[in-house]
Amino acid sequence: MDVGLDHVGQRAATGALPPWQRVDELVLEAYAWARQDASGAVADYIPALAQADPDAFGLCVVEVDGGTHTAGDADAGFSIQSISKAFVYALVCDELGHAAVRERIGVNNTGLAFNSVVAVELNGGHPMNPMVNAGALATTALVPGGAPDEQWAYVQDGLSRFAGRPLALDDEVYASESATNQRNQAIARLLESYGRIEVDPLPVVDVYTRQCSLVVTARDVAVMGATLADGGVNPLTGERVVSAEVCRDTLAVLASTGLYERSGEWLFEIGLPGKSGVAGGIVTVAPGKAGIGAFAPRLDPAGNSVRAQRATGYLSRVLGLNVFASSVHDPASREPQ
């Protein structure tokens, strides 16, 4: 992952965001800078995604106080895809608790592709983390509800509360994914054989496919990220969606696994928890500060949006979001004991 930011100065992550007007200007700068990169290719292994406009590009930053900054196609709809994994995981953690979800799903990176069957076998049937498909399927299997339709209603309602508005299903994407999700069915069957999914796995795959087919915008994704950044309270609606402890756990998992086998590079370059989706979206969370939503369909070989990575990297530097960046402490500023 090369986001090409050697020329961009790094602000320290300590302190607050710059004033609203300055953030607005920097979002426009990030958009203009990242828009110059036309590399990458639209995902085509799901036929419906291949129809996306390769030039679409939207960017949004939502601060924890609700302040919103947009550029480009911030209100263009796209399917949430794997970004949904982060928020379904948070909902399940809120229901079942820290220890139970850690034992069942795990928190460690596989180092392998998001849809790897080998990773499951190498780890004795353990899905390892909720951001790969095996872990996401195991997580969806834990969603409350006595029947698949009840589980789906729970997921749709929960993700809508994260976004602050009702999210609808893209029927075309859902149908297209349902016709091509044999690998996920196989992974779910394998998890069932290891006792990691204890219900009929095929309805689990269907609920998971539907959650990936919800329509969002870059603005929605930024609001969802800002909800995690603000300890579980949606900054637009004021509703508590999940607990602060769940936000902490979710962001820790995102930091180590959110960009699949490229997570280390993402953390090295961007320094923030994030999650990508193959429709071209990326959500990034600056704890206590803001959520960033970016959308651009052209992907790199790992399945991550090229422009979204570049815009997010730019904002991380100029807004001082990288959680590992700090300024030199001034001893003279310390209060006497």
- Binding-site residues for substrate sit at 82, 133, 177, 184, 208, 260, 278
109/94 Cα distance (integer angstroms) = 22
Helices (H), the chain: 20-35, 83-96, 98-105, 118-122, 133-140, 148-163, 171-178, 182-193, 201-212, 218-229, 244-257, 263-269, 306-318
Which residues participate in the annotated binding site? 82, 133, 177, 184, 208, 260, 278
CA dihedral of residues 145, 146, 150, 156 (deg, nearest 10): 20
Q: Tell me, rounded to whole angstroms, the distance of Cα 202 from its chain centroid.
A: 24
Question: How does DSSP assign 148-194, residue by residue?
Answer: HHHHHHHHHHHHHHHHTS---B-HHHHHHHHTT-HHHHHHHHHHHHT
Question: Whose structure tokens read 């904002």?
Answer: 315
